[in-house]
Amino acid sequence: MKKIVSLFLFLASLTMLFASNEAEELAVEKCGGCHLMGVVSKEKLKNMKAPPYWAIAKKAKEAYANKEDKINYIVDYTLNPTEEKMLFPVETKKLFGVMPSQEGKVTEDEIKLIAEYILENKTF
């Protein structure tokens, strides 16, 4: 019985590991070109096209108390970004412009996974 339980726990932890890897891969693939996902290099910092993802996490945390609202904000903004909804200040818009909608490039379920990754991975 003990063996079965530990096998189960082992499998469960493997699944979780794969789940977080999947989220990271998705985040890098779908948002990394602009939001500095994954490994940060000098080259990437020089060519920044948008605020890094940890700045998004900070804004979401300042604006919303519970996790669901934070995730909904990221999902909604990614599909329908507008100047009025921006949590980033005017300077961000002047520097980078308003984010182009990612509709058609990423599904709602994928954004939810990415959103959790963004909120949980504090690089800084």
Which residue has the CB atom at the shortest distance from ligand HEC? 31
Asked if residue 64 lies in contact with residue 73, where contact means CB atoms within 8 angstroms, the answer is yes
Nearer CB in complex with ligand HEC: 23/51 = 51
Minimum CB distance to ligand HEC smaller for 2 or for 83: 83
CB 74 within 8 A of CB 111: yes
CB of 15 to ligand HEC, least distance (A): 23
CB of 11 or CB of 95, closer to ligand HEC = 95
Binding site for ligand HEC (CB under 6 A): 30-31, 33-35, 49-51, 56, 59, 74, 77-78, 81, 86-88, 92-93, 96-100, 102, 106, 111, 114
SS (H, E, C) 37-95: CCCCCHHHHHCCCCCCHHHHHHHHHHHCCCHHHHHHHHHHHHHCCCCCCCCCCHHHHHH
